[in-house]
Amino acid sequence: MKLSAWVATAFAVTVTFASASTVQAQFTPKRPLEIAVHAGPGSGNDVFARALISVIEKNKLSPVRIQVANKPGGGSTTAAAYLASKAGNENTLGVFTNIWITDPLVSAEATNPLTSMTPVALVIREPGLIAVKADSPYKTLQDFIDAAKAAPGKLSQSGGSVLARENVLRQLLMGATGADWQFISFPSGGERLSALLGGHVNMMIVEPGEATAQVRSGAMRVIAAVAEKRLPGFPDVPTLQEAGFNIPNLPQIRGIVAPPGMPKEAVAYYSDLIRKATETQEWKDYVVENGFEPAFTTPEETSKFITEYTEQLRGILEKAGIKLVAR
Amino acid sequence: MDIINGLAHGFGIALVPQNLLWCFVGCFLGTVVGILPGLGPAATIAILMPLTLNMDPAGGIIMLTGIYYGAKYGGSTTSILLNMPGESSSVVSCIDGYQMARNGRAGAALGIAAIASFIAGTVGIVLLTLVAPAVARFALSFSAPEYFALMAFGLSLVVLLSGASLLKGLLALLVGLWLSTVGIDLFSAQSRFTFGRSELLGGLDFVVIAIGVFAIAEILTTIQHRQEGTLIPVPKGFRNLLPSREELKASRFAFVNGSFTGFIIGVLPGAGSAIASFIAYGIEKAVSKRKELFGKGAPEGLAAPEGANNADTGGALVPLLTLGIPGGGTTAILLSALVLWGIRPGPLMITESPDIFWGLVASMYVGNVVLLLLNLPLVPLFAQLLRVPTWILFPVIFGLSIIGAYSVSERIFDVELLAAFGLLGFLMAKTGFPSAPLILGFVLGDAMERALRQSLMMSQGDLTTFFQRPISLILLIAAFVILLLPLVSWFNRARVRAISEGA
């Protein structure tokens, strides 16, 4: 986690609306804005994009209509290719997440890495929670690690693709502790959760929003938080570092990118639009409700973050023995 | 007693004029969405979700859910009339539904579909009301080996879908299985059979394959035979537009089979209604005393899958409402809609949001009646469609197919694929290869391969895991028995031949 990003976030939030007038409004959109999303309707990103749009429209921050364009297929590949095809366009943005970084590292067909796009802003970070079934013998993450050490390969974790953050965190944890457990892929969140609650796997990493209801109903126990500090909704759950695991808290990022070669004035305009949107009360409520962390950054900071994070993830995937594409 | 009080309370909410209106709007939109190929309920709900945020939550969720189960009603319309599945769950309805239409029983087929949808849809909700918590526990007990065995059972049904030549059926099945492996593999993140095309990374789309292999192939075949005038005879007289007593009688067991099969498979996260409809069809044919009629327009061959894909809805809502687990794409969107209203589905939902829970359940009883009343009068209207001469109808189907394929991901590549699969379907029809096994392989292949790999990871490579678990063992034995069916009939034929030659 980059301290500079946090300082910038704090700074951006403290700056009042007055500063909006200091940005020379040289660019104003004349055509509807399209936001490309790499998954189908109802997916996490789709809901995120629609929430952002509804906040912008409610507060009348945009003179033009904004619509979502779903470009599912091949993880982020189809959406990234779509953005690349819109090079120089001033009326298209995309929502990116970690897989925009990892897909091009692994798939030869994914030829549009995030570093080739125009960065606009990071918007939120999603903390993760390490969860076990409520009647599981593991009261702490250390309990789980010890059990995994005692019987290598016997315990298992449910998750999505091997490129997803859940598996990357598993690799880091295994590397740091010498324990060994399986990662079992399921295509949808519902199936991952069923596998845990049915007792077929021993552990999973969930989003705070998902965990809240399951913990309250007594189906799930949360044993560690992948976050910089304890989450407001889970004050008793230690962070990885507090629990004694010295590994980086890989953030799950959601941010906004523009096609390659978008003019500077347009980038400044959209950066400002997103900043205003994230400062509204509705957006703050949405972030709290879902257990996200606000993470707004300027285009320059976003660019720096993407470059550094790409290298970090490349190193971890390489170590995990996943076949990478030589570029 | 709680259930009765709850339902009474729910009907109090569902029957408020305002909510009745929302229920009707949802069912109507669902019917339209179901009829149009390529536009699915999931996308529709996502688009309408923001509009409902200013509504009362009960009304909003009643409407959105109406779209979900309403789409299941409309899906079979184009399957029956044009051999063109509107949703993935209505592919199986093409097999006997379209043949019924070709026999001049289009109206009857539409009627059977509406009745089967109503009966099974309602049974599904009754089961949701009565046994949801117990069934949810059963769903959780299903692990990877059980899923693998279920898919193996599904695949064994190929012997019932192959028609004349089992060998050709098996080959078509293998092609379907192969097609299902295209794209990025979840377990290794490597791409398979993508030939360097980034468009193939996401795998092939079900709707594109089904419309190509069924609708486009059918058009090409008809053109080749140079049929003039209308495609399908339409009987005169209103009586002939309704299912006859014999057709309804023949479908009696299918209504029950579809209801229970659809509900049970619907409960299982990740199984999906397409699988439910295939399995219901297979069971129907396996126990039928008139197997030879299947694939030639047997009403029970339409009623079983059509029922299953409607009962599936009630089943799919069980894990969503009682455990907070969405089992498929549409239920995942319903979950996010509920969350936007601040409602968290799960074990506490009944006590925390009784209005929403019971209001929704009650509205589904109402919605199914609404859908029946909405769909039955449409039967004669739709049946008239077939009076349209082919020189008008074919271009329209072609246009709809292309729009449907394009709208999946809004790209021309899928239209090219549609053409390729249309040609494949045409060649298969010419050479006597059945198309249903290909679709079966494509639908089940993905889930089956995944379940196999998950099972072996969980058991650390121990193959006996499939035989040590009761449900998995029973399903594998059932698959084995079905695979033996052709052998038995072959033996019988051989015996008869031997006796007659000896005589």
pLDDT in tens, B69-92: 998 888 888 889 888 887 778 889
- pLDDT band (50, 70, 90) for residue B292: confident
Residue B81 CA to residue B74 CA, distance in Å, equals 12
DSSP state of A324: P
Predicted pLDDT at A18:
38
Amino acid at A133: K
Q: Which residue has the tokens 């028995």?
A: B481
Spatial contact of B26 and B55, defined as CB atoms under 8 Å apart: no
Is the CB of A69 inside 8 Å of chain B's CB atoms? yes
Helix (H) / strand (E) containing B192: strand B191-192
Within an 8 Å CB–CB cutoff, is residue A27 touching chain B? no
Q: Range with the lowest mean pLDDT among A72-86, B306-320, B425-439?
A: A72-86
Q: What is the pLDDT of residues A41-71, one digit of tens each?
A: 767 788 889 889 989 988 999 999 998 888 8
Q: Which of B49, B140, B459 to mutate to test the interface with A (most CBs of A within 10 A)?
A: B140
Q: What's the mean pLDDT in A244-249?
A: 90
What's the pLDDT score for residue B3? Answer: 85
Instruction: Read off the pLDDT of each residue in A202-216 and give the average, rounded to a whole number.
Output: 89
Burial grade of B498 (CB within 10 A; 0-12, 13-18, 19 or more): exposed
Cβ B366 vs Cβ B122: under 8 Å: no
CB within 8 Å of chain A, chain B residues 174-203:
183-184, 186-191, 194, 196-203
DSSP code at position A294: E
* B191 contacts in chain A (CB < 8 Å): 74, 107-109
**Chain A CB contacts of B50 below 8 Å:** 50, 53-54
Distance CA B340, CA A282 (A): 12
Give the residue from B267, B258, B259, B263 showing the smallest Cα distance to B327: B267
Q: Quick one: tokens of B258?
A: 């579809």
According to the model, what pLDDT value does residue B488 have?
Answer: 80
Integer Cα distance of B376 and B81 in angstroms: 15
3-state SS class at A94: strand
Name which of A34-48, B72-86, B157-171, B484-498 the model is least confident about: B484-498
3-state SS track over B301-339: HHHHHHHHHHHHHHHHHHHHHHHCCCCCHHHHHHHHHHH
pLDDT higher than 50, residue A7? no
Instruction: Provide the pLDDT confidence category of residue A140 given band limits of 50, 70 and 90.
Output: very high
**Averaged pLDDT for residues B414-440:** 93
- Under an 8 A CB cutoff, do B348 and A193 touch? no
- Looking at every residue in chain B, the average pLDDT score rounds to 88
Q: How far is CA A324 from CA A100, A175, B188, B284, in A?
A: 15, 19, 11, 49
Alpha-carbon distance B256 to B250, whole Å? Answer: 12
Which residues in B52-86 are b (16+ Cβ under 10 Å) and which e? Answer: beeebbbbbbbbbbbbbbbbbbbbbbbbbbbbbbb
pLDDT in tens, B102-150: 888 888 999 999 999 999 999 999 999 998 888 888 889 999 999 999 9
Looking at the complex, does the CB of residue B389 fall below 8 Å from at least one CB of chain A?
A: no
Q: pLDDT class for B503, splitting at 50, 70, 90?
A: low
| 3-class secondary-structure state, position B487 | helix
How many other CB atoms sit within 10 Å of the CB of residue B410?
12
Query: Which of the four pLDDT bands, split at 50, 70 and 90, describes residue B42?
Result: confident
pTM, entire model: 0.87
Q: How confident is the model at residue A122 (pLDDT cuts 50, 70, 90)?
A: very high
Alpha-carbon distance of B142 to B128, in angstroms, equals 18
Which chain B residues contact residue A156 at CB under 8 A?
A: 457-458
Which residues of chain B lie closer than 8 angstroms to A36, CB-CB? none
- Please give the torsion angle defined by the CA atoms of residues A197, A200, A204 and A208, in that order, rounded to the nearest 10 degrees: -10
Which two tokens mark A234? 């889970």
CA B430, CA A191: separation in Å to the nearest integer?
41
Angle at which helix A98-106 crosses helix A77-85, to 10 degrees, equals 100
Please state the rounded mean pLDDT for residues A112-129: 93
Q: Are B464 and B123 in contact (CB under 8 A)?
A: no
pLDDT tens digit sequence for B216-253: 998 898 888 776 555 666 666 666 678 888 888 889 99
Task: Looking at the complex, report in whole angstroms how far the Cα of residue B28 sits from the nearest Cα belonging to chain A.
Answer: 21
pLDDT recorded at residue B239:
66
- C-alpha–C-alpha distance, residues B110 and B35, integer Å: 12
Interface of A with B in 172-201 (CB under 8 A): 182, 184-191, 193-195, 197-201
Confidence bin at A15 (pLDDT 50/70/90): very low
Three-state DSSP class for residue A36: strand
Could you tell me which residues come within 8 angstroms of residue A181 by beta carbon, excluding any fewer than 6 positions away?
A: A148, A152, A153, A154, A155, A156, A157, A170, A174, A202, A203
Q: How far apart are CA B297 and CA B274, in angstroms?
A: 20
**pLDDT for the residue numbered B122:** 95
What per-residue confidence (pLDDT) applies to B129? 92
- pLDDT at B463 exceeding the cut of 70: yes
Task: Say how far apart CA B120 and CA B327 lie, in whole Å.
Answer: 20
- The angle subtended at Cα A254 by Cα A251 and Cα A259, nearest 5°, is 130
Determine the length of chain B.
Answer: 503
Predicted confidence (pLDDT) per residue in B440-462, tens digit: 999 899 899 999 999 999 998 89
CA B156, CA B162: separation in Å to the nearest integer? Answer: 11
Sign (positive or negative) of CA dihedral B403, A35, A3, A285: negative
Asked if A156 is an interface residue toward chain B (Cβ–Cβ < 8 A), one would say: yes
Kindly give the residue spans of alpha helices, DSSP state H, lying in chain A: 3-14, 44-58, 77-85, 98-106, 141-150, 165-177, 189-197, 208-216, 264-278, 281-289, 299-319
CB neighbourhood size of B9 (10 A): 16
Minimal Cβ distance to B333: which of A42, A161, A289 = A42
**Residue with tokens 């692990």, as numbered in its chain:** B143
